[in-house]
Amino acid sequence: MSDEPAAARASAAAPSVQVVVTETGQGLLQQHLSDGRHLLLADEPVARGGGDTGPNPYELLLMSLGACTSMTLRLYAQRKHWPLSRVVVRLSHGRIYARDCADCETEIGLVDRIEREIELEGPLDATQRSRLLEIADRCPVHRTLISEISIQTRLRAP
C-alpha cells in the first residue's frame, strides 16, 4: 500500500480540467471546444470535408505544445533573471517511415513526427540558449506527449 494519502491519490487520478467538445451543427465537422471559461472552434479544411472555420485537431495539438514550450521558457528565464525578450515557437506535424527514425522504438510502419523550432530573442549567451533548449523538453505538454498515456473511454447517457 502506498504511503501517499488517499486524498492525494484520488486527486492525481481525477482529471484536473474538464473540456467539452460538441458539434455545432454548422457544417459537417465544426466543433465547439469549451473549458468552461473559453470557447474555441475546431474544424477540418474544405478538402477534408470541413468548412475551415478553425484549426484542425493536429493544429490544436501543435498549438498546445507551442504555447506550453513558450510559457515554460518564459517562466524559467524570468526565474533566472535572464534577458529573454521574446520566444517564437514554430511547429509542424507529419509522418515518417519508422526505419528513417534513428531514435524511435517502433521499427515498422509510420511514426508521427513533430518538428519544433524555437527562436529566442534577447542578449542571451550560448550557455543560456543551450539551457533553454534543454528546458523546452521539460514543458508539461511535451512530457505528456512522450510519456505513456492512458485514455479511458466510456459512453455517457444523453
Query: What is the mean pLDDT of each successive set of 10 residues along the chain, which is 158 residues long?
Result: 50 71 96 96 96 96 98 98 98 77 63 93 98 98 93 92
- Is 31 found in the same domain as 105? no
User: Could you give the CA distance from residue 76 to residue 82 in angstroms, rounded to a whole number?
Assistant: 9
Global pTM reads: 0.82
Same domain, 43 and 61: no
Same domain, residue pair 90 and 139: yes
pLDDT digits (tens, 9 = 90+) for 10-52: 445 555 779 999 999 999 999 999 999 999 999 999 999 999 9
Domain containing residue 69: 56-148
Structure confidence at residue 2 (pLDDT) = 47
Check whether residue 36 and residue 74 sit in a common domain: no
Which residue type occupies 17?
Answer: V
Residue 97 domain-assigned?
yes
Distance CA 116, CA 158 (A): 40
Phi, psi of 111 (to 5 degrees): -125, 135
pLDDT value at position 1? 44
Rg (CA), the chain: 19
Tell me whether residue 158 is in a domain.
no
- Check if the beta carbon of residue 23 is closer than 8 Å to that of residue 31: yes
Please give the distance of CA 67 from its chain centroid, rounded to a whole number. Answer: 8
